[in-house]
Structure formats: structure tokens, C-alpha cells
Amino acid sequence: MTSTDITPHPPASRFDSRKAAFRQGVKDAVRAPVLVLIAGMLGFGAAGNIYGLGLPFTTATTFFIFALPGQIVLFEMLVSGASLLSIGIAVSLTSSRFVTMAVTLFPQLHRDDRKPGLYASVHVLAMTAWTVAMREFPLMAPEHRSSYFVGFGLPCWLLSVPATALGYVIAGEVPMAVTLALVWINPLFFLLTFTEVKLPANRLAILLGGCLGPAFFLIDSATSLLAAGLVGGSLAYGWQRLRSRQGATEGRP
């Protein structure tokens, strides 16, 4: 489903060299999906200003974490007084999606590219790079995929850091209406992407999390995100398992 077997004979002639694949990656990186990512980073920078967490700290989270949901969870939990341990667990849980992304993406690389250097380039792996690479990889020879991936992902990361700083700086300078629009980008973006979730268990998880989040926040703000995620997600997962087990039982003669 995800490996090279989609196209048994990928067009080897699409790129002359790894350099050409890298350059195409960079070119593809300055288009609509990445502009959305940059807008999110601007909004996150502006939110960092509103939270009062400081320019160096706000920018450092983009440099070191480079995953907006995790960064916003970090900020929200810091502000609501969560403990270090629960912050670490909650952010790591939101980043667990990178395990699945890497597991589906990297088997498509050429065997020679599956080397220790991957442990460095994986830092630029994010939703945008993953989506584009999953789409483009089958259309190129395996030996060009690693270069294309880094060519795409590196500018995404490198542009995100100054975009965060820029968002932070302008939030204090522009009229309030612009700041409002900036800090509104990320909640709106998350809300909109929920409509693209197809798996019933994940849809139920979104519904439960959406209801439990505010309720838990009123009970104990510091633990609310982690608790809503674990309770809502586990309930949705359990429901899915129960359903598939029932389906299996009913299906028997």
C-alpha cells in the first residue's frame, strides 16, 4: 500500500541526479501547502507573544520541536500550570504520529539511503512533507527520493523558524484586528482538518475530545489536555475494537 510496489517501474529519467531531485523538492516547497504551514507558524509566533513566553523561547520551540500541535500543547500546558512530566507525556503523544509517518515513508527510500544520516533528516519530517512525499515518491526512482525529501523538508523547517519570530514581533506592532486574525489561524486550521479524518474511531475520538476538553479544563486545567486525550482516545479505540469483534462474531456461520 505504501511502498514502491505502487509503480513497479518508476520513471528513472524524471531526475538526472540526486541534486536535480533536491532542487525539485525545494521548488515544490514554495507552494500552497507550505504557505499554510508558514501561516500557522506566524500565528503561533503571535500566540507566543500573547502568552508572554518571550521571543527566544517561542522561536526555539519551532527550531527544536517543529510540530505545531505539540508546540501549542506545550504553551497551553505551561500557561495552565501543568507539571513537567505531564507536559512531556502530552507533547510526545501528539508527536507519536511521526512514528507512523516515518514507518510508512522511509521503506520507500533506496536501500543505500537507509543509513544513520536519516536520523538527522527525520527532524524535518512533518505533516506537509509527509503528504507531499507520499504523493511524489512513486513518481520517481528510489535513489532520488531521499534528496527530494530533504529538498522539500529542509526549507519548510528553515522558513518556519523566522516565520515564528516574525509572527511574534508583528503581534506587538500591528493593529489588534491583525493579531486576532493571526492567533485565530491555528485553532481554525485544526478545526478544518478534522473534516478530512475518515476513520470512524478517529472521528469518535475527535467528538469525545472536543466534549471532554472543556469539561476537564473546568475540573483541573493543568491535566485537562492529557486526560481528555487519553480518556477520549481510549474510549474511541475501545469502541472500534468492540465493533470489529462483534462484526467478526456475527460474520461467523
Partner 1 sequence: MIPNLDGWHTAGALLLASVGTYVCRAGGVLLSGHINQNSEIFKWLSAVTYSMIAALTVRLIVMPTGALATVPVTIRVLIGIVSLGVMLIKPGGRLVPALLTGTGLMLIYGLLR
Site for partner 1, residues 152 to 191, rule: CB under 8 A: 175-181, 183-191
Residues 66-105 vs partner 1: string with x where CB under 8 A? xx-xxxxxx-xxxx-xx-xx-xxxxxxxxxxxxxxxxxxx
**Taking the complex as a whole, how short is the minimal distance between the CB of residue 31 and partner 1, in angstroms?**
11
Question: Which residue stretches of the chain are H helix?
Answer: 18-29, 32-51, 55-64, 68-79, 84-95, 97-105, 118-121, 127-136, 142-171, 176-193, 200-219, 224-251
Binding of partner 1 by 125 (CB under 8 A): yes
Binders in 14-53 for partner 1, by CB under 8 A: 32, 36, 39, 47, 50-53
**Taking the complex as a whole, how short is the minimal distance between the CB of residue 53 and partner 1, in angstroms?**
7
CB of 17 or CB of 64, closer to partner 1: 64
Single residue of 30, 60, 158, 242 touching partner 1 by CB under 8 A: 60
**Taking the complex as a whole, how short is the minimal distance between the CB of residue 1 and partner 1, in angstroms?**
9
**Taking the complex as a whole, how short is the minimal distance between the CB of residue 133 and partner 1, in angstroms?**
13
Using CB under 8 A, which of the segments 8-16, 62-70, 144-152, 245-253 binds partner 1? 62-70
Single residue of 23, 123, 127, 142 touching partner 1 by CB under 8 A: 123
Q: Which long-range contacts (CB under 8 A, 24 or more apart) does 136-141 make?
A: 136/28, 137/4, 137/105, 137/108, 138/4, 138/6, 138/7, 138/10, 138/108, 139/7, 139/10, 139/11, 139/14, 140/10, 140/11, 140/14, 140/15, 140/21, 141/10, 141/11, 141/12, 141/14, 141/15, 141/110
